[in-house]
Structure 1
Amino acid sequence: MRVLIVSSYLPERCGIAKYAWQLAEHLRRQGHVVNVLAPPGSMSDFCEPLKGKLGPLKVLKYAFFYDKVLLNFHESFFYQSGVLNRAFTHLSFALLFLLARNLEVICHEYPKLEGRGLLGWLDRKVLKLIWSLAPRVVFHTERELSGFSKLFGVPRERLGLRRHGESFMRFAAAGKLEARRKLSLSPSDFILLCIGFIQPHKGFDRVVKAFKKVKSSRVKLYIVGSIRLFTREYIEYLRELRRLASECSGVHLVYRYISDEEFDLWIASSDVVVLPYREIWSSGVLERAKLYGKPVIASDVGGVADQLSSSDYLFKSDEELEELLQELAELADEALSRREDRDSTV
């Protein structure tokens, strides 16, 4: 099968670009012929300016030469500010959905129907009409699919599920001890890990505040990542996170952009991955944790609960997070003490 993927793409530093690259490699391994259409500057087969006005219509130049077109949708990748820009992009998507019937939209975040006044009312009506024309829309979780179907009135038979980590691959072969050796981490600590781009909605500050109340010298919290967008809000958030981390013993903030291999080494080195998100639809970090068999503590937002298994923990409030971390620290202390006793008798 000939497949065209439309997406942000490498070297863009974002989760969807990395998702699209892994999806392309996954489909190629299955024997499909895969090409990628992405914005200018991308390491893709074709480059087109897809954002703003009639940008999405450029997909039609390529769509008819493929059996399937997979379009990774996030509003920020296709829409620009301004009423006229938005109106033209609405028209572009309506025509694309009508004409490219081999199109499947992988919806990473569907539009919010939040506009106020007459223009907001009209925008909501137009969005519902546009998405009713989409041949097929797939989501990563049942919660997202159900929410979209209810909000936009699209029948479920035109919707589908594609597990977020379905095409993910490992970038590090190391086990926990080997990963810790490579990262110069203690082999005996119990490590909690927050990893990814540092942004307010990721909620890393919530973990630091909860960790302050953990009574254990052997449990460590590592926050690893960097800022993706250098806005005043994000820079101020980083400063506040650094301040909180410096005031809490056992918290280590590792600020840098990390490679795919190092990202996975950090996950492999951890005991538990913590995802304290304030807002998210589904989590790629959670899926990477699952690649390495790591339990996850996650907040109950978006469709994250649908991604968890019986070995994971879900919390609904900061108080619940504090309780979980303390219980986990007590269990970790007991386990480490038993190990030390066992080692001392050998």
Structure 2
Amino acid sequence: MNILIVTGQLERCGIGVYTQKLADHLAESGHQVAILTCPTEEFTKPTDSRNWAHFTLNATRKLSHADWLPVLAKFRPDVIHIQYPSLHRDAFFLYRETCRRFLFRKPIVTTFHEKPYQFRSYVLMFTSCHVITVRSVRLARDWGAYFPCKKSMVLNATMLPEIQLTDDERSQTRRKYGHRSYQNRLTDIKDCNHDDAHGVCVSPDRRRLILSFGFLTPHNRTQDILHACNPVTDDLVIAGTCPESIPEHLKSLHVQCSEAGWNPDEVFRGYVSDDELSKLIASADAIVLPYQSGAGPWNTSLLAAQQQGTFVLTTTNEQLGMPAVGYHQETNTFFAPIGSIEKMKDAIARYQGHRNPPVSGGRTWQQIADEHYQIYTRYQKGRTRFSAATT
């Protein structure tokens, strides 16, 4: 089967990585896969490790048949799969032009990773023959009123490799990401026990390594992490960066970081490799992921953190059927109310450093690819939403 996956950009986390993982495993199953994105400098396909094609189209204007020729001359899709949303500012235009091109011609499947908040996203709902959600059963059911077509839920899996560290390897990682500026300004750290504006200063080998990772967007509430942690007792590492569409947000975070007593250069580390991030997760005392809309098994960052057994602090919205506020021992996760800094501080103080055994045997990306293929096959032989059976 020839599968064309459409997304705004192939960023190094979130939906960009999801798209690449799905493409990798569909291709490994013997399918021909291509990914269509907006033009961007944020991603360069490593030709030695990918077995799918990558095309770009500037869709900020109405596209003609001639505009599509460079893509269609090399790749003739049997099914179109749109990944919504994207942080690329022109992503909606690409979605719209893709629907215009293939409506009535090829089946269109859309994955909604988040609830469609923008009215213009309704074009995807009414042109798709099938909608996929990665959210929980209750959320998928609540969204059902928006979608006039068949719906399925395909749960996520972690995007990071499993890793086992020795105590020495864990210590090396902690030393690597320790805050040098704090260590350097202490003349005799062993005898230092005075109070200051933030708390009691502690020796480097007793400092807590606190990690957060992913996109630095308003939705991820990175500013909450800066206030929930302590610059005197914690080495805070935030791995990730802001999307190019909101550069002012990173500047604001740097200002808040400095005002809270941190050195932004030591806190914000940009992207790190998957292996390095897995080491950080396995070495940290706590992972903090304070999402604006709450967290659940659809968050691949949460799954990656829980996989290593490290304590995780995240947020929840019980009214939407998310996990209850409090500590969940089976996943070593504390779910705090959204925006509750005091609850977050208390959870870090109580549960930091606690580890569960690493989790293995969870969902795999091959399972996810197989479930997608089963959905695609329902709409073969040229059937679209307007002719497919409602099975």
TM-score when scaled to structure 2? 0.62
Would the alpha carbon gap of residues 327 and 6 (structure 1) be closer, same or farther in structure 2, given more than 3 Å must change? Answer: closer
* Per-residue CA distance 1:277-330 (angstroms, 9 max, x = gap): 225785332122133233422122698947x975322222444x4234324424
Find out whether 1:7 has 2:19 as its counterpart.
Answer: no
In structure 1, runs of 5+ residues without a counterpart are 115-122, 337-346
Would the alpha carbon gap of residues 312 and 183 (structure 1) be closer, same or farther in structure 2, given more than 3 Å must change? Answer: closer
What is aligned with 2:19? 20
Would the alpha carbon gap of residues 239 and 71 (structure 1) be closer, same or farther in structure 2, given more than 3 Å must change? Answer: same
Question: Which protein, 1 or 2, shows the higher relative CO under an 8 Å CA cutoff with sep ≥ 6?
Answer: 2
3-state SS, counterpart of residue 232 of structure 1? helix
CA root-mean-square deviation? 4.3
What is aligned with 1:51? 59
Find out whether 1:228 has 2:239 as its counterpart.
Answer: no
Superposed displacement of residue 18, structure 1: 1.8
Alignment partner of 2:84 out of 70, 73, 79: 73
Q: For residues 290-329 of structure 1, what are the structure 2 equivalents within 5 Å?
A: 290-300=306-316, 305=322, 310-319=331-340, 321-329=341-349
Kindly provide the amino acid, as one letter, of the partner of residue 152 in structure 2: G
**Which shows bigger deviation, 140-149 or 259-268?**
140-149
Find out whether 1:105 has 2:97 as its counterpart.
Answer: no
Distance 1:228 1:78 in 2: 10
Superposed displacement of residue 270, structure 1: 1.7
Would the alpha carbon gap of residues 55 and 191 (structure 1) be closer, same or farther in structure 2, given more than 3 Å must change? Answer: farther
In structure 2, runs of 5+ residues without a counterpart are 46-51, 179-203, 356-391
What is aligned with 2:188? none
Are the aligned partners of 2:240 and 2:270 in contact in 1 as well (CA < 8 Å)? yes
What is aligned with 1:170? 161
* Misfit runs of 4+, over 6 Å: none
Are the aligned partners of 2:209 and 2:284 in contact in 1 as well (CA < 8 Å)? yes
Kindly provide the amino acid, as one letter, of the partner of residue 337 in structure 2: K
Kindly provide the amino acid, as one letter, of the partner of residue 289 in structure 1: A
Q: For residues 1-346 of structure 1, what are the structure 2 equivalents within 5 Å?
A: 1-8=1-8, 10=10, 12-29=11-28, 31-39=29-37, 40=39, 42-43=44-45, 45-49=53-57, 51-54=59-62, 58=68, 61=72, 65-74=76-85, 76-77=87-88, 79=90, 90=96, 92-93=98-99, 96-101=102-107, 103-113=108-118, 128=122, 130-142=124-136, 144-150=139-145, 152-154=146-148, 158-165=150-157, 168-170=159-161, 174=165, 178-184=169-175, 189-212=207-230, 220-229=235-244, 231-246=247-262, 253-279=267-293, 282-300=298-316, 305=322, 310-319=331-340, 321-332=341-352
Number of matched pairs? 305
Give percent identity, aligned residues only.
17
Kindly provide the amino acid, as one letter, of the partner of residue 269 in structure 1: S
Would the alpha carbon gap of residues 314 and 130 (structure 1) be closer, same or farther in structure 2, given more than 3 Å must change? Answer: same
Superposed displacement of residue 235, structure 1: 1.4
Distance 1:160 1:176 in 2: 43
Kindly provide the amino acid, as one letter, of the partner of residue 162 in structure 1: V
* Per-residue CA distance 1:158-191 (angstroms, 9 max, x = gap): 111122326x341755457524414525776543
Distance 1:72 1:176 in 2: 40
Distance 1:80 1:108 in 2: 14
* Per-residue CA distance 1:140-165 (angstroms, 9 max, x = gap): 11255334323x2435xx11112232
Kindly provide the amino acid, as one letter, of the partner of residue 108 in structure 1: H
Superposed displacement of residue 193, structure 1: 1.7
Would the alpha carbon gap of residues 72 and 80 (structure 1) be closer, same or farther in structure 2, given more than 3 Å must change? Answer: closer
Superposed displacement of residue 49, structure 1: 0.5
Distance 1:176 1:50 in 2: 50
3-state SS, counterpart of residue 32 of structure 1? coil
Are the aligned partners of 2:27 and 2:33 in contact in 1 as well (CA < 8 Å)? no
Are the aligned partners of 1:50 and 1:56 in contact in 2 as well (CA < 8 Å)? no
What is aligned with 1:117? none
Distance 2:173 2:153 in 1: 37
**Which shows bigger deviation, 260-269 or 192-201?**
192-201
Q: Going by fraction, where is helix more abundant, 1 or 2? A: 1
